[in-house]
């Protein structure tokens, strides 16, 4: 991982020299990774307000200077750490809409069952108002791609006739993703197996009597 690839470092050199090596000892990739890891785990424990550079340094086994050499402050550090989060949904297999939605929702349930990921998500929602750049980056790197996968499955279902032609894609999308959010809110109760199937089937067939 080079400075040019990640954009992590605050590089004072002109862009023209980006590909060239600077003299002296290069920055440690190991330190980079340790700092990102420590930042994310401390964020999950304490939130953005509770995150402190000194603890990040201690947990990463790194001097404070090594952090300040790379990032000007707390928010920038966290901002780069967020971009490392992405836990992508699996690619739908395209057999049937029902199967694809099932697989995607089960993957989401699984991700939310990991306490660290669940907390990262909940915390980011809460801090969104206070640190808008954080929320924006999380939205771009994690949330929107995830939504787009689901939207495309729904659109394909309309195209193949598996779904009604006039399905409200967004309403359906938010019912699907929201069902996982609303359910897994507490974190302590893992979403029970079969939950994804129940949601998908109820949504596909509808609550109304025939």
Partner DNA sequence: TAAATGCGATACGAAGACGTATCGTATCGA
Partner DNA sequence: TCGATACGATACGTCTTCGTATCGCATTTA
Contact 165, 108 (CB under 8 A): no
Stretch that binds its own copies, among 4-12, 16-24, 32-40, 177-185 (CB under 8 A): 177-185
191's torsion region: left (phi>0), alpha (psi -120 to 50) or beta?
Answer: beta
Stretch that binds DNA, among 15-23, 127-135, 143-151, 170-178 (CB under 7 A): 15-23
> Counting contacts by CB under 7 A, is residue 28 touching DNA?
yes
Integer angstrom CA distances of residue 60 from 52, 67, 76, 165:
12, 10, 17, 53
> Counting contacts by CB under 7 A, is residue 74 touching DNA?
yes
String of DSSP letters for 50-86? H--HHHHHHHHT--HHHHHTT-SSHHHHHHHHHTT--
Angle at CA of residue 85, ends 80 and 90, nearest 5°:
145
Residue 16: which of DNA, its own copies, none does it interact with, CB under 5 to 8 A by kind?
A: none
Angle at CA of residue 27, ends 23 and 31, nearest 5°:
170
Contact 203, 172 (CB under 8 A): yes
Residue whose tokens read 């785990």: 41
Nearer Cβ to its own copies (9/204) = 204
> Counting contacts by CB under 8 A, is residue 100 touching its own copies?
no
Please, what is the minimum distance in Å from the beta carbon of residue 18 to its own copies? 34
> Counting contacts by CB under 8 A, is residue 193 touching its own copies?
no
Which residue of 42, 77, 82, 199 would you call a contact of its own copies, by CB under 8 A? Answer: 199
Please, what is the minimum distance in Å from the beta carbon of residue 103 to DNA? 41
Nearer Cβ to its own copies (43/62) = 43
Which residue of 24, 72, 161, 193 would you call a contact of its own copies, by CB under 8 A? Answer: 161
> Exposed/middle/buried for 60, CB within 10 Å: 0-12, 13-18, 19+?
buried
> Counting contacts by CB under 8 A, is residue 42 touching its own copies?
no
Please, what is the minimum distance in Å from the beta carbon of residue 38 to its own copies? 18
Which residue of 6, 41, 66, 139 would you call a contact of DNA, by CB under 7 A? Answer: 66
> Counting contacts by CB under 8 A, is residue 183 touching its own copies?
yes
How far is residue 2 CA from its own chain's centroid?
A: 23
User: Which residues are near DNA by CB under 7 A?
Assistant: 21-28, 31, 51-55, 57, 61-66, 68-69, 72-74
């Amino acid at each position: 991982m080079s400075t040019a690839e990640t954009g992590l470092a605050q590089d004072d050199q002109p862009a023209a020299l980006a590909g060239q090596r600077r003299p002296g000892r290069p920055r440690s990739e190991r330190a980079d990774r340790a700092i990102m890891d420590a930042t994310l785990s401390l964020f999950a424990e304490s939130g953005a307000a509770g995150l402190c550079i000194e603890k990040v340094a201690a947990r990463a086994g790194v001097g404070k200077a090594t952090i300040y050499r790379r990032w000007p402050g707390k928010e920038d550090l966290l901002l780069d750490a967020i971009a490392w989060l992405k836990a992508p949904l699996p690619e739908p297999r395209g057999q049937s809409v029902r199967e694809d939605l099932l697989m995607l929702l089960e993957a989401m349930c699984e991700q939310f069952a990991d306490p660290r990921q669940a907390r990262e998500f909940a915390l980011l929602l809460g801090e969104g108002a206070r640190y808008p750049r954080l929320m924006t980056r999380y939205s771009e790197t994690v949330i929107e791609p995830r939504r787009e996968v689901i939207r495309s499955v729904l659109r394909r279902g309309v195209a193949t006739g598996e779904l009604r032609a006039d399905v409200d894609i967004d309403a359906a999308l938010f019912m699907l993703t929201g069902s996982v959010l609303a359910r897994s809110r507490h974190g302590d109760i893992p979403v029970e197996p079969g939950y994804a199937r129940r949601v998908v089937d109820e949504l596909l067939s509808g609550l109304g009597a025939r």
